[in-house]
Amino acid sequence: MNFKDEYKAAYDDISLTEEEKESLLNSVMDNYRAVGDDVLAGVKRGTFKKVPKKRRWALGVAVAAVTSVMLVGAAGAAGTLTPASDAFKGFFGMGPAETEIIDSIGHPIGATAAADGVEITAEAVIGDGNTICIVYTITLTDGTTFAVPEDDQEYIDFQIMHDISFAPAVMGGAHGSYGFKDLVPGDNQVHLISDMTFDKPVNGKTAHVEMSDFIYKTSAGETVTKDLTWKMSFKAEYEDSTINLGGGQTFSMNDLDFTINSVNLSPISIEVDCTVAAELPWDNQESGKMNDKNAKAQDRFFDSIPIQIVMNNGTIIDMTHSGGSLEPSSDTTHCVKGGFLDTVINVNDVDKVIVADLEYPVK
């Protein structure tokens, strides 16, 4: 079954004609757009490309869509699984408090796929209501080693096509980011971290992961392209410790009126769900490009909404530049903004969350 057939099949429980399904699918593909010139949003198979640093991709505009952002091995292979905190320690400040949080919400995976001297292992997953984060280890088994990163490179400039789908299927939009790190420079392993936020929960679903077209540099100075595919499946299970901070409040900015539906916070992400009392003006345009009209509309309805997490010690985590989705309908626009944090937090150490001029105390 190809991609379009798979998506159309996911609409079987919805009362649509074949023509309506086709039209909706085409709308989905046409409306995944990049946020910024340095990100290539996934249009066809929900694919997103690597950029030299770990950053955001894909603002989903419009539609109730089936999300298949499509990552063959099986989870739980023989051997000792890596504790979740060990898998994530190279990506977060992992003191004792962070280690305890990661191990309390995360699960080890241990799914592996190998082809032509490259082995990819899904090590561990953490997540919450709508966000999932997975760490992979990529190992060269052909006797070569990876190039040593430059001193100022936090994330190294390797590339891979990375798709993930879920069973049962997930309805809605998605955004996220991924990046490569070399935790032990000069050896035969690098690590890939991928975080994704969906409009609907994925916890407990089976994840089907497909990676392909791996491009990397070796210590011999050679750029290698592996035009191959690595597939694996595993259960996306983790402990959801999300807290809801409320909703129902209103604010105005950019000559628009917003109503907060919910503000959700967890140790790894934040999500603000709101309704704008106006329909998003949006031109159909070539996928992956943003014209001036759409860029200004996106800024008014989405980009400029301030979101800050204020810790008890006064530290501020600014999430204003998060990803999300916009779903226009007659006279209103549904806006979901937020995403994965760059650090793990204890929600008990949070004083409040600020959205525009509204404050949400964490009690």
Instruction: Give residue-wise pLDDT tens across range 247-287.
Output: 999 999 999 999 999 999 999 999 999 999 999 998 887 76
* Residue whose token pair is 């000792």: 80
End-to-end CA distance of the chain: 49
In a domain, 276, yes or no: yes
In a domain, 185, yes or no: no
In a domain, 355, yes or no: yes
55 pLDDT band, cuts 50/70/90, is very low
Mean pLDDT, residues 285-314 taken together = 90
**Are the C-beta atoms of residues 73 and 200 closer than 8 Å to each other?**
no
In a domain, 163, yes or no: no
Distance CA 309, CA 266 (A): 11
17 pLDDT band, cuts 50/70/90, is low
In a domain, 247, yes or no: yes
pLDDT of 164 higher than 50: yes
Mean pLDDT, residues 129-146 taken together = 94
> Poorest-confidence range of 24-28, 33-37, 162-166, 291-295?
33-37
Distance CA 32, CA 44 (A): 9
Question: Which of 143-157, 176-190, 305-319 ranks highest by mean pLDDT?
Answer: 305-319
In a domain, 43, yes or no: no
In a domain, 322, yes or no: yes
Mean pLDDT of the chain: 80
130 pLDDT band, cuts 50/70/90, is confident
Q: For position 109, what pLDDT does the model report?
A: 96
In a domain, 150, yes or no: no
- Number of domains observed in the structure of the chain: 1
Mean pLDDT, residues 333-356 taken together = 93
Q: Which CATH number do you get for residue 343?
A: 2.60.40
Mean pLDDT, residues 132-158 taken together = 90
Q: What is the DSSP string of 121-182?
A: EEEEEEE-SSEEEEEEEEEE-SS--BPPPPTT-SSB--EEEEEEEEES-EES-EEEEEEEE-
Q: Which two tokens stand for residue 115?
A: 């082809």
Question: Residue 106's closest CA among 116, 117, 94, 114?
Answer: 94
Q: What is the DSSP string of 199-251?
A: SS--TTSEEEEEEEEEEEEBTTS-EEEEEEEEEEEEE-------EE-----EE
Domain containing residue 264: 243-361
Q: What is the pTM of this model?
A: 0.74
Region of 254 (left: φ > 0; alpha: ψ -120 to 50; beta: rest) is: left
